[in-house]
Amino acid sequence: MTNNTVDRDYFLMEFSDSKQLQVLQGFLFLLIYLVSLIGNLFIIMLVTVDRCLHTPMYFFLKNLSFLDLCFISATVPKLILSSLSHRSTISFPGCVCQVLFVVSFVASETSLLTAMSYDRYVAICRPLHYETIMNRRVCVQIVAASWLFGSFLGALYSYGTFSLPFCGSRNVPQFFCDIPSLLKISCSKMHVTIDISVTFGIVCGFFFLVCIVSSYVYIFNTVLRMPLSQGRSKAFSTCMPHLIVVTTFLVTAVTAYLKPVPDSPQLWDFLISFFYSVMPPSMNPIIYSLRNKEIKVALWNFLWKLNHYAFYRGKHS
């Protein structure tokens, strides 16, 4: 990379030329970011303080919430700042960091979602061996492996992307630095390093998809053979939130990365990127809270204790 590449800024996509609409957009994304921040932190806190939630399933959920926080924080704060300051530039180091973090968190979240599907498979299809297979040590190793895999893929993709020369336009057709948009504005037609990285990522993604689908094939086959409807209902209540999250995340991610990058992005392109990078981290806490009875119970217990503590403090003050 030449000094010219390093010193120059990139210009991110603006959704409107109107300063009033940019300010409105900034506050809207600020609201979404705060909702995501509060929701995911609340999930982390509930799982940490409620002893009934100290199980492998909720250990993975806590780590998923932390990953969601990291994922949305890699892009949305910069978007908010750009909208409110009417300045859509991003420095070269900032762009590198966005690519590194986005790819790392996406890869880590995909591998963690795969681990969560395997956890549900063991819990429903092999319940007698669940505590032996999914013990604390195994769960910690799985989470650590997810982070290491994500970090490796993020470093691989960012190196492959920014080893290319950028000698032309610096207008990134996206509201954050992502690989397809950066390849679009690169003046190099040979993308050998990034092509190898993308091929490796596709193979890993296909492997994760096969694991998730296989797990749920076995899960649904086992659940449908359960004699009691109450048992089926409990099994579905623990599986459906995860299945909804996996489907939403994978469908939006695949759509965002496989569609061609347009020369002039339209509203549809923005919406696809929005649903991929902003909606899953914001909606995951809501999906798990609405569809999971144990989370609801833990939430009500926490609110009751909080109210009881406030009443006790007020009475003796």
Residue range 45-81, pLDDT digits in tens? 888 888 888 889 889 999 999 999 999 999 999 989 8
Taking all residues of the chain, what is their mean pLDDT, rounded to a whole number? 82
Full residue range of the structural domain in which residue 250 is found: 3-315
Work out how many domains the chain is built from and give that number: 1
H or E element that contains 82? helix 76-85
Per-residue pLDDT tens digits for 175-194: 888 888 888 888 777 667 77
CATH number at residue 107: 1.20.1070.10
Query: Between the CA of residue 84 and those of 26, 156, 298, 317, what are the distances in Å?
Result: 6, 33, 38, 43
First to last CA, the chain: 65
Contacts of 126 (CB under 8 A, 6+ apart): 133
**Amino acid sitting at position 232:** R
Mapped onto helix, strand or coil, the DSSP state of residue 89 is strand
Could you tell me if 197 and 160 are in contact, meaning their C-beta atoms sit under 8 angstroms apart? Answer: yes
The label of the residue with tokens 């990522």 reads 201
Average pLDDT score over residue span 112-139: 91
The DSSP output letter for 171 is B
DSSP state for residue 10 in the 8-state scheme:
E
Residue 303 above 80 pLDDT?
Answer: no
Given a cut of 70, whether residue 44 has pLDDT beyond it is: yes
Separation of alpha carbons 317 and 313, rounded Å: 6
pLDDT tens figures, 257-297: 777 776 666 667 777 777 778 888 888 887 777 666 777 77
Give the 3-state secondary structure of 106-170: HHHHHHHHHHHHHHHHHHHHCHHHHHHHCCHHHHHHHHHHHHHHHHHHHHHHHHHHHCCCCCCCC
